[in-house]
Each structure stands twice: as structure tokens, then as C-alpha cells.
């Protein structure tokens, strides 16, 4: 279509009733018309764009760069969303290569009898779907309905046969346009998967994943406490540090290999590649909780071993790991692992979740939670050490990467060090320089251990230093304090700049409790009333603190939340505020410092029913204070980030949201019918999950009465379906009943299983042929304030009568118009997400700078 003249394009637009005129009623430029046609999916000739995207290449870096840049420029898709779209297609290309080599496992999976057992589809569909696995370019022969073809292929076929790689969610691309999906498949179909590509992919997979995370500020990996192991560390640990030699010298062969925190699979791939003579590729195992990274891990292992591996499982390895129930002879010969550093888990909650999982998959097993985790701990590092030792076979060996901090030297962690020595001989300890891991300056150690009882407390251990080079420090026994350190009586490690003064918060600030105010005193005044939540609980006509006062929520789920407002406010008795600050600290520095330790402050919460934080606890917090000049520079930089860059992007986001509202108002005027929600949806009841049961270690997203959802995860689910809506029926504030900051009246679109509390109801679409669920989602978001007007306030919280809600009438355009509206709104949504990712990048830059200055020596 690029080859058509402007006149031919105008005729095409007339034929299809597509606007080709500017506001001045003059024909648009050819480039503009082509761009509009592309968005509408009319660029059917995919061979039009003769650019370097169509050029064959084997360079993995170039491949990722090309595909990511294309999705960014064409559809505004970046970071993990781009990664997901690319990996969905790239893995299928890898299947093509394995089948071209007659991979026996894949051939057995694709046996018609096996397919018929798992997929309830006709033979014609089976033949069609099998052709895609053999050659991805067959998608391009008829791409008029490519989005639907891909959707059915994944849901009905791939997610049933290869459920450890593809999940039903992979049926939907993040890029909304058929054209872009077609182009992505064409680009990847041109990749030449050579031996160089294969070596590059599994050697660089962690680097590739990290490069995607850079586009979104590395949020995902940091939230999970993950720091992916750079290849230079993996290679050094195996080669110069000697873990490969330990494996090759181990008596026997046909060994099993496992990484219980698989990530992108680098540790397993390198270990197998260096020790092929000892490791059985069919006995490689792995677990990971993240659906994005596990695709990398599975793809890498397929390339490294030249076979599909069904032993890679998406799960929480601590509690939902089927290998927990292995018999002794089925445990692992070799484990190499870099477990999450920063995770926190409640031991009692994990015990309950383990019991639930055991009752589902191994009810007759005699294994108890205490058998695996005899040491009660809420720290991920301590829990994973116990899991690793439990999972090792007798005389099995492991390489475990751990943070070089309290676990290694402090008296508080003597118990876990004794546990290691009670069960294992430490063969080597490798000190890894801080900064070698991407995203963190944390120093680490790698322990090479063997599960046995060889008088482990009195064995000499080889100590090694891994910096830019590898240095052998020597052999020695552990000191009397059983510190895993080459130095005698090593002090507990700290990372505090010597120019920093350490004071307690109560020494530099005066903290005060807020004033009591009853609900009947809340009126529609000018001053927000701040208490135990993240948002104002109402308004008042009096204030008790000045602008920019630092507030700490005192009670409730968000006890410890740090905030400040650029207006006068009333702090209730559910809040604490900082009244005065001494002359060695700046108020804004204290604010930014407290925000930097927000998670630590949350951990101060106590109380079974209503959690809370006491003023006295806050006063004991240690604050690291640099010179006033450094404080000023920090505040100036962070102000620039938050007040300018973040604020500017936030304003852009609001402008786009307002544009969406105007677009809906202007385009829903003609050719419409009005239908009640009851005519459009089936109201399918409400959730039953208690918010207090949320542990964030489950598989299913959890929705509650909040404007920001999901609000965690749970191991059980309340709702299921292909695509459906959730709506919140309660919440808000009687004194200010209408606000976009409330969850009440807000809808969420969900695909698959989810958990929800009692305030959340499911809406199931009755007829997909005349209703587009995404149009309904956008329209209901648009009229949230109108829905909120249905709420009755008997207490401070409102409640919507669901019968009234289902009688609410909304305009329904033609199905074609609904799709047109959705395409425009989705495009704007992607712009919003890009801006939000930029905000996160800038916030993370600010946080990293802050920690570099305060914590690095």
C-alpha cells in the first residue's frame, strides 16, 4: 500500500468510509493517511516496508533491539510488555528449530493421540496448529484475522500442551493492532537461528532480560528481591573458582541439576554446557514465580540442551514446589542457585499455604513444613538455605549465592550457620565484590557445599576473592564465632559512609500525635483530614498543621505511610506529625529519607486486629545525616525529579485521560441504543477472600475496595473467565462522595483467575457479538462519578445497591464503532503506561542516588 499514490489512497478511504480530510477539509498528507490506515489495520501488504527489519540476522542483541524499537515506535509498547510480546513469538520460532532437528520429546508431545487427550479440537484445527509449530511464517499466509488465530492457537493448543511456557494470558498481545502483530511475527520469522544465536541466547539471556527492565526502571526485579546473576560471575564461579571441577570430580554420572530460583536460566545453562558428560539433560529442573522470566529460562534451556524441558515449573519454590515431596533417591545431585536477597515472608503464613498445597497434590505425604524448615524465620535468605539443603541428595553439591551481611557474620544468625554445618561440609567460600550484580551494590558470597557429615565444623575451607579477577586467599578453618569470613573475629558488615552522622529520629525531630476528631465533625471544608490511610479520610474547616508538614499514618493497613501536603491540613488522632526539626537537618531531607525506608517503617506495625505504629517506635529509628551541604544537594536533585520530571509526566497523563473523556463524549452521539447493565452483563456474585489472608506469595491477583488494584496475590481464587469486569460496590467518604481516588464504582478488566474480597463483584458479558468488553470497560471508567452517585452513606463509607447499578443505562454504538473507540483509547492507554514507566525510572534513579550517597563507603 506504500506504493499507492495519494489519489489511490483517497479512493481507498472513500470506499471504506475512512476520514482522509483535515479540519480545513483538505486531503491529509500521504504519510498521515498511511499512518491512520495502519492503526486501523488496513495495511494488508506486509511486504511494503523494505527496511532493515526484514533483513536476516543471527545477532541476538540486534534482534532484541530491532523488535523492541519497532514495538516502541509503532505501538508505544516498552519494557516488560514488549518483552512479553517478543518472547511469545520468539519461543515459537525456537520450537520451529527444535522440530527441524526432529526433537524426540516435541514429536511425542505432538502425537495426535496425546493432543486429543489434552485438546478438545477437531483434526483440521490440530493440523493447522501443528503447522504453526513447525513454521511460524505460516501465520503470515492469511493474516486477515491474525489476532484471533493467535488467540485460539495459544488458548486451545499451546497452553494445554506446553503449560510451563505458555499460559492462557499469552493469547493476548500487549500491542493492540493486527498490523503490528503481523509485523512482529514477520520480523522474528526472518531470524536465522544458528549455533551462534543459540550460544548467544543462553549466554546473554540475563543481560537481555535486564535490558528490558531498564525501560521500566527495574521495578519488577527489585520488588521480588531478584538480582539476576551476570554471566561473568557464573563463568568465574564455574571455571576459575572451581565449581565445574567439583562436579566433574564427583563420582558417577547421569546427574540431576536444579535451580529453585530459575530466573532467566543462566546458571543451569552454563553449568550444563560445561559439564555435559556428567549431567542428564532430561534431569534438569527449575522453578520460578515470575511468568515473564520463566519464559527466558525455558527458552534458554531448550536451546542449551536441544530439547523441550517439562521439568521447569512456575511456582513459589518455598511452598508450592512439587519437588518438595521427592523421595531421597529423587532429590537433586547438583543445585546452583542465586535465591532472592530481599524477600520477607511470614513463617506462619507460609506454613498454612504449604499445608493447603500439600492437601491438594500430596495428601498422603508424611512430609511436614517443619521437616523442610526447622528454623522459624521470616527472611527469604534463611528459608532458601533450608530449602536447598533439604532438596539436595546425600553427597549432593551446591553453589549458593548469598548476601555478604549478617547471615555470614552476626551472632543473630549463628543458628542458620550451624544448620549449614550440621548438614553440609563447606568446600569453598567465594567473596564477590559489590557492584558486580546489576541493580545493586550489595556484596555477596558464594558457598560451595556438599551434603554430608564429615566433622564439618573442623574442616579447612578454601577462601577465594572474585573481583575483576579471581584471587585465592588461602585455606583455613572457621573461627570460634563460626563466621563465614577469611578474617578472624570479623566485625558485622556495615555499608555506612564514614562521613555520615547517625542519630535517632527523636534526637533531631519532635514528633506529636494528631488531634481527635469524630466522624460527625467531618464537614465539607477546605482542609483535608489525614489519618491512618494513604488518602484523606474527609475534610474540615479547621487545620492543625502547616503546609509541607511530614505526616506518618498511625493505624490501619497503611500504618507507617509517609506523606506531606502542600496545603494546611488537619492531622487526626490516627496520624503522627513532625512538629520541629533541629538545625543539623533539613525538613525535606528527613522527608526523603523516611520515604527511602518506607518498607522498614511498615515492618514496625504490630497488633493482630488493627495494626498500628507508636510514636515511640518512630523516635527510635536511626537516621543517617550527611552535612547540610550534601543534604541540600540531595533535596535539590530529588525535588527536580519529583517536582518537575514526575510532575510533568503526571500532568501529561491527566491531559491524556481528559482527552479520552472528551473523545468518548464526542463520538457516542449517533447510531446508538441504550441498554441497562443488566441487559449487557450477568452479575455473578462477589468475592469471599479476606484481605488479612493476603501474603503476596500466591498465584492469583487479589482485588479489594481500592482505586489501585490488584492489591497483592492469593493462593485461592474467587472468579475465573476469559475476559470479564470487576466492579467495587463500597468505599468512599460521606463528606466527599465523588472522587477518582476512591475504589467505589471503579471497574477493572481481568483475564483468567483472580481473588477478591466481599466488596468486589464480577460482571460477565452476555453477548460478545454485539458488545465489546473493552468498550464497556472504558465507558464505565468514564462514568465512575455517575456510578458513585448511586451510593448510599449510612456510615462514613458508601454502599451501592447492585439492583440499581444493573438498571443503569449506558449508550451502545455499533460493534464496529465500539472497536474503533477501543483502538484509540488503547493507544492512549499505552502512552499513559509509557509515561508511568518513565516516572518509575526517574523515581528509581532518585532512590539509587540517595542510597549511593548515604550507604556506600
Q: Mean pLDDT over residues 691-715, rounded?
A: 81
Specify the DSSP class assigned to residue 515.
Answer: B
Q: Mean pLDDT over residues 372-397, rounded?
A: 93
Q: Is residue 643 part of a domain?
A: no
Of the listed ranges 201-210, 609-618, 655-664, the least confidently predicted one is 201-210
Condensed to tens digits (0 to 9), the pLDDT of residues 478-496 reads: 988 888 888 754 443 344 4
Per-residue confidence band for 212, with pLDDT thresholds at 50, 70 and 90: low
Of the listed ranges 57-61, 308-312, 570-574, the least confidently predicted one is 57-61
CB 789 within 8 A of CB 743: no
Is this model's pTM higher than 0.95 or not? no
Q: Is residue 645 part of a domain?
A: no
Q: Is residue 489 part of a domain?
A: no
- Asked, as a colleague might, if the bond just before 765 is cis with ω within 30 of 0, I would say no
Q: Do residues 431 and 577 both lie within one domain?
A: no
Q: Do residues 216 and 178 both lie within one domain?
A: no
Is pLDDT larger for residue 379 or for residue 698?
379
What integer pLDDT is reported at residue 44 of this predicted model? Answer: 41
Q: Mean pLDDT over residues 143-168, rounded?
A: 87
Q: Which of 125, 160, 192 is the last residue before a domain boundary?
A: 192
What integer pLDDT is reported at residue 41 of this predicted model? Answer: 54
Per-residue confidence band for 857, with pLDDT thresholds at 50, 70 and 90: very low
Task: Quote the radius of gyration of the chain (alpha carbons, Å).
Answer: 29
pLDDT beyond 60 at 598: yes
pLDDT beyond 50 at 754: yes
**Angle CA(330)–CA(336)–CA(338) in degrees, nearest 5?**
125
Q: Do residues 507 and 453 both lie within one domain?
A: no
What integer pLDDT is reported at residue 736 of this predicted model? Answer: 72
Q: Do residues 380 and 284 both lie within one domain?
A: yes
Q: Is residue 201 part of a domain?
A: no
Q: Do residues 461 and 505 both lie within one domain?
A: no
Q: Mean pLDDT over residues 652-662, rounded?
A: 86
SS (H, E, C) 157-169: HHHHHCCCCCCHH
Q: Please tell me the distance from the alpha carbon of residue 639 to that of residue 321, in angstroms, as a whole number.
A: 45
Q: Mean pLDDT over residues 520-534, rounded?
A: 80
Q: Please tell me the distance from the alpha carbon of residue 753 to that of residue 702, in angstroms, as a whole number.
A: 10
Per-residue confidence band for 662, with pLDDT thresholds at 50, 70 and 90: confident
Q: Mean pLDDT over residues 112-116, rounded?
A: 72
Q: Is residue 200 part of a domain?
A: no
| E-strand stretches of 587-723 | 622-625, 673-676, 681-686, 700-703, 713-714
What interhelical angle do 291-305 and 266-274 show, nearest 10? 10
pLDDT beyond 50 at 216: no
Q: Mean pLDDT over residues 654-679, rounded?
A: 87
What integer pLDDT is reported at residue 61 of this predicted model? Answer: 62
Condensed to tens digits (0 to 9), the pLDDT of residues 268-295 reads: 999 999 999 999 999 999 999 887 778 8
Q: Mean pLDDT over residues 610-639, rounded?
A: 86
Q: Is residue 494 part of a domain?
A: no
Nearest to 725 by CA among 752, 763, 674: 763
Per-residue confidence band for 140, with pLDDT thresholds at 50, 70 and 90: confident
Where is 513: in which H helix or E strand? Answer: strand 509-513
Spatial CB neighbours of 11, under 8 Å, sequence gap ≥ 6: none
Per-residue confidence band for 450, with pLDDT thresholds at 50, 70 and 90: very high
Q: Please tell me the distance from the alpha carbon of residue 539 to that of residue 527, in angstroms, as a whole number.
A: 5
Q: Mean pLDDT over residues 371-377, rounded?
A: 93
Q: Mean pLDDT over residues 377-383, rounded?
A: 87
Q: Do residues 376 and 512 both lie within one domain?
A: no
Per-residue confidence band for 855, with pLDDT thresholds at 50, 70 and 90: low
Q: Mean pLDDT over residues 329-340, rounded?
A: 94
What integer pLDDT is reported at residue 550 of this predicted model? Answer: 94
Q: Do residues 184 and 237 both lie within one domain?
A: no
Give, in order, the Cα–Cα distances in Å from 456 to each of 328, 459, 460, 482: 21, 6, 9, 11
What integer pLDDT is reported at residue 196 of this predicted model? Answer: 64
Q: Do residues 280 and 353 both lie within one domain?
A: yes
Condensed to tens digits (0 to 9), the pLDDT of residues 539-559 reads: 888 899 999 999 999 887 778
CATH code (residue 443) = 3.40.50.150
Condensed to tens digits (0 to 9), the pLDDT of residues 70-103 reads: 777 776 676 677 878 888 888 888 888 888 888 8
Number of alpha carbons in the 13 Å side-chain half-sphere of residue 326: 17
Q: Do residues 20 and 92 both lie within one domain?
A: no
What per-residue string of b and e applies to 662-674 under the rule 16 or more CB within 10 Å gives b? ebbeeebeeeeee
Q: Is residue 834 part of a domain?
A: no
Instruction: Rounding to the nearest 10 degrees, give the CA dihedral for residues 132, 134, 138, 140.
Output: 80
What integer pLDDT is reported at residue 169 of this predicted model? Answer: 87
Q: Domain of 346?
A: 211-476
Most confident stretch, 162-166, 236-240, 710-714: 236-240
Mean pLDDT of the chain: 83
CB 514 within 8 A of CB 571: yes
Q: Do residues 56 and 33 both lie within one domain?
A: no
Q: Which of 593, 625, 657 is the last residue before a domain boundary?
A: 625
Share of the chain above pLDDT 70, in %: 85
Q: Which long-range contacts (CB under 8 A, 24 or more apart) does 431-437 make?
A: 431/404, 431/463, 431/464, 431/465, 431/466, 431/473, 431/486, 432/233, 432/401, 432/404, 432/466, 433/465, 433/466, 433/467, 433/468, 436/230, 436/232, 436/233, 436/466, 437/227, 437/228, 437/229, 437/230, 437/233
What per-residue string of b and e applies to 736-758 under the rule 16 or more CB within 10 Å gives b? bbbbeebbbbbbbbbebbbbbbb
Give, in order, the Cα–Cα distances in Å from 565 to each of 556, 591, 642, 836: 20, 12, 14, 21
CB 693 within 8 A of CB 700: no
Q: Do residues 62 and 85 both lie within one domain?
A: yes
Backbone angles phi, psi at 855, to 5 degrees: -105, -25
Of the listed ranges 246-250, 329-333, 354-358, 606-610, the least confidently predicted one is 606-610
Backbone angles phi, psi at 132, to 5 degrees: -65, -40
Per-residue confidence band for 58, with pLDDT thresholds at 50, 70 and 90: low
Share of the chain above pLDDT 90, in %: 36
DSSP code per residue over 443-481: -EEEEEEEES-S-GGG--EEEEEESSSEEEEEEE---TT
Q: Mean pLDDT over residues 371-398, rounded?
A: 94
Q: Mean pLDDT over residues 251-263, rounded?
A: 94
Q: Do residues 412 and 534 both lie within one domain?
A: no
Of the listed ranges 122-136, 148-162, 181-195, 373-387, the least confidently predicted one is 181-195
CATH code (residue 790) = 3.90.220.20
Q: Is residue 817 part of a domain?
A: no
Per-residue confidence band for 440, with pLDDT thresholds at 50, 70 and 90: very low
pLDDT beyond 60 at 568: yes
Spatial CB neighbours of 703, under 8 Å, sequence gap ≥ 6: 687, 709, 710, 711, 726, 728, 748, 750, 754, 755, 756, 757, 760
Please give the tally of structural domains in the chain.
5
Q: Please tell me the distance from the alpha carbon of residue 748 to that of residue 729, in angstroms, as a whole number.
A: 12
Condensed to tens digits (0 to 9), the pLDDT of residues 758-773 reads: 999 999 999 989 999 9
Spatial CB neighbours of 576, under 8 Å, sequence gap ≥ 6: 511, 512, 513, 514, 551, 552, 553, 554, 613, 615, 618
What integer pLDDT is reported at residue 493 of this predicted model? Answer: 37
Amino acid at each position: 500500500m506504500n506504493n499507492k499514490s495519494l489519489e489511490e489512497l483517497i479512493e481507498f478511504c472513500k470506499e471504506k468510509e475512512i476520514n482522509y480530510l483535515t479540519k480545513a477539509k483538505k486531503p491529509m498528507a500521504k504519510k498521515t493517511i498511511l499512518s491512520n490506515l495502519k492503526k486501523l489495520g488496513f495495511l494488508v501488504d506486509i511486504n511494503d516496508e523494505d527496511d532493515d527489519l526484514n533483513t536476516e540476522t543471527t545477532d541476538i542483541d540486534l534482534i532484541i533491539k530491532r523488535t523492541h524499537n519497532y514495538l516502541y515506535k509503532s505501538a508505544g509498547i516498552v519494557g516488560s510488555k514488549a518483552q512479553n510480546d517478543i518472547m511469545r513469538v520468539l519461543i515459537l520460532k525456537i520450537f520451529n528449530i527444535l522440530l527441524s532437528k526432529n526433537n524426540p520429546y516435541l514429536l511425542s508431545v505432538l502425537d495426535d493421540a496425546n493432543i486429543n487427550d489434552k485438546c478438545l479440537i477437531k483434526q483440521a484445527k490440530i493440523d493447522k496448529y501443528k503447522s504453526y509449530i513447525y513454521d511460524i511464517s505460516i501465520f503470515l499466509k492469511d493474516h486477515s484475522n491474525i489476532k484471533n488465530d493467535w488467540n485460539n492457537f495459544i488458548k486451545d493448543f499451546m497452553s494445554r500442551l506446553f503449560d510451563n511456557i505458555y499460559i492462557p494470558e499469552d493469547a493476548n498481545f500487549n500491542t493492540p493492532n493486527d498490523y503490528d502483530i503481523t509485523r512482529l511475527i514477520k520480523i522474528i520469522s526472518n531470524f536465522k537461528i544458528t549455533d551462534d544465536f543459540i550460544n548467544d541466547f543462553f549466554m546473554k539471556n540475563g543481560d537481555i532480560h535486564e535490558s528490558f527492565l531498564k525501560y521500566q526502571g527495574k521495578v519488577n526485579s527489585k520488588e521480588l528481591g531478584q538480582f539476576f546473576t551476570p554471566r561473568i560471575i557464573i563463568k568465574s564461579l564455574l571455571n576459575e573458582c572451581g565449581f565445574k571441577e567439583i562436579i566433574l570430580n564427583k563420582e558417577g554420572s547421569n546427574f540431576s541439576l536444579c535451580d529453585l530460583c530459575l530466573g532467566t536460566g543462566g546458571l543451569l545453562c552454563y553449568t550444563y554446557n560445561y559439564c555435559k558428560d556428567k549431567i542428564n539433560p532430561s534431569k534438569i529442573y527449575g522453578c520460578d514465580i515470575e511468568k515473564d522470566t520463566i519464559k527466558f529460562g525455558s527458552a534458554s534451556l531448550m536451546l542449551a540442551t536441544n530439547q523441550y524441558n517439562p521439568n521447569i515449573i512456575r511456582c513459589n519454590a518455598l511452598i508450592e514446589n512439587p519437588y518438595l515431596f521427592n523421595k531421597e533417591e529423587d532429590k537433586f545431585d547438583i543445585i546452583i542457585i542465586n535465591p532472592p536477597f530481599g524477600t520477607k515472608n511470614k513463617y506462619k503464613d507460609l506454613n498454612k499455604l504449604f499445608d493447603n498445597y500439600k492437601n491438594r497434590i500430596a495428601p498422603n505425604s508424611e512430609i511436614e513444613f517443619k521437616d523442610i524448615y526447622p528454623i522459624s524465620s521470616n527472611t527469604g535468605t534463611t528459608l532458601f538455605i533450608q530449602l536447598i539443603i533439604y532438596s539436595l541428595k546425600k553427597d549432593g553439591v551446591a553453589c549458593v549465592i548469598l548476601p555478604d551481611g549478617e547471615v555470614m557474620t552476626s551472632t543473630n544468625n549463628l543458628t542458620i550457620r550451624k544448620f549449614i554445618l550440621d548438614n553440609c561440609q563447606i568446600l569453598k567460600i567465594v567473596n564477590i565484590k559489590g557492584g558486580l550484580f546489576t541493580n545493586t551494590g550489595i556484596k555477596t558470597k558464594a558457598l560451595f557445599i556438599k551434603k554430608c557429615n564429615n566433622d564439618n565444623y573442623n574442616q579447612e575451607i578454601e577462601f577465594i576473592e572474585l573481583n575483576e579477577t579471581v584471587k585465592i586467599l588461602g585455606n583455613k578453618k572457621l573461627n570460634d564465632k563460626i563466621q563465614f569470613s577469611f578474617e578472624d573475629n570479623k566485625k558485622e558488615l556495615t555499608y555506612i559512609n564514614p562521613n555520615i552522622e547517625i542519630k535517632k529520629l527523636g534526637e533531631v525531630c519532635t514528633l506529636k500525635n494528631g488531634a481527635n476528631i469524630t466522624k460527625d465533625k467531618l464537614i465539607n471544608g477546605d482542609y483535608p483530614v489525614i489519618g491512618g490511610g494513604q488518602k484523606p479520610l474527609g475534610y474540615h474547616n479547621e487545620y492543625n498543621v502547616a503546609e509541607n508538614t511530614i505526616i506518618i499514618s498511625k493505624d490501619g493497613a497503611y500504618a507507617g505511610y509517609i506523606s506531606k501536603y502542600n496545603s494546611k491540613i488537619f492531622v487526626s488522632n490516627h496520624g503522627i506529625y513532625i512538629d520541629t526539626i533541629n538545625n543539623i537537618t533539613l525538613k525535606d531531607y528527613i522527608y526523603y529519607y523516611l520515604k527511602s525506608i518506607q518498607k522498614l517503617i511498615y515492618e514496625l506495625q504490630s497488633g493482630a486486629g488493627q495494626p498500628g505504629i507508636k510514636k515511640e517506635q518512630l523516635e527510635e529509628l536511626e537516621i543517617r545525616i550527611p552535612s547540610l551541604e550534601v543534604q541540600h544537594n540531595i533535596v535539590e536533585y530529588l525535588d527536580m525529579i519529583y517536582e518537575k520530571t514526575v510532575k510533568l509526566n503526571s500532568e501529561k497523563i491527566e491531559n491524556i485521560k481528559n482527552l479520552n473523556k472528551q473523545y468518548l463524549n464526542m463520538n457516542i452521539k449517533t447510531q446508538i441504543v441504550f441498554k441497562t447493565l443488566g441487559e449487557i452483563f450477568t452479575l455473578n456474585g462477589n468475592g469471599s477472600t479476606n484481605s488479612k489472608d493476603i501474603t503476596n506469595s500466591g498465584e492469583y491477583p487479589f482485588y479489594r475496595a481500592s482505586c489501585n488494584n490488584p492489591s497483592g496475590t492469593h493462593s485461592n481464587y474467587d472468579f475465573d473467565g476469559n475476559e470479564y469486569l470487576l466492579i467495587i460496590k463500597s468505599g468512599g467518604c460521606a463528606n466527599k462522595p465523588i472522587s477518582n481516588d476512591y475504589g467505589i464504582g471503579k471497574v477493572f478488566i481481568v483475564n483468567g483467575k483472580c481473588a477478591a474480597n466481599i466488596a468486589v463483584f464480577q460482571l460477565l458479558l452476555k453477548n460478545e457479538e454485539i458488545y465489546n468488553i473493552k468498550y464497556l470497560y472504558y465507558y464505565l471508567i468514564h462514568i465512575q462519578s455517575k456510578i458513585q452517585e448511586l451510593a448510599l452513606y449510612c456510615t462514613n463509607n458508601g454502599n451501592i445497591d447492585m439492583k440499581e447499578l444493573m438498571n443503569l443505562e449506558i449508550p451502545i454504538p455499533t460493534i464496529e464503532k465500539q472497536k474503533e473507540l477501543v483502538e484509540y483509547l488503547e493507544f492512549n492507554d499505552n502512552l499513559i503506561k509509557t509515561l508511568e514507566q518513565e516516572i518509575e525510572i526517574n523515581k528509581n534513579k532518585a532512590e539509587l542516588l540517595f542510597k549511593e550517597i548515604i550507604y556506600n563507603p
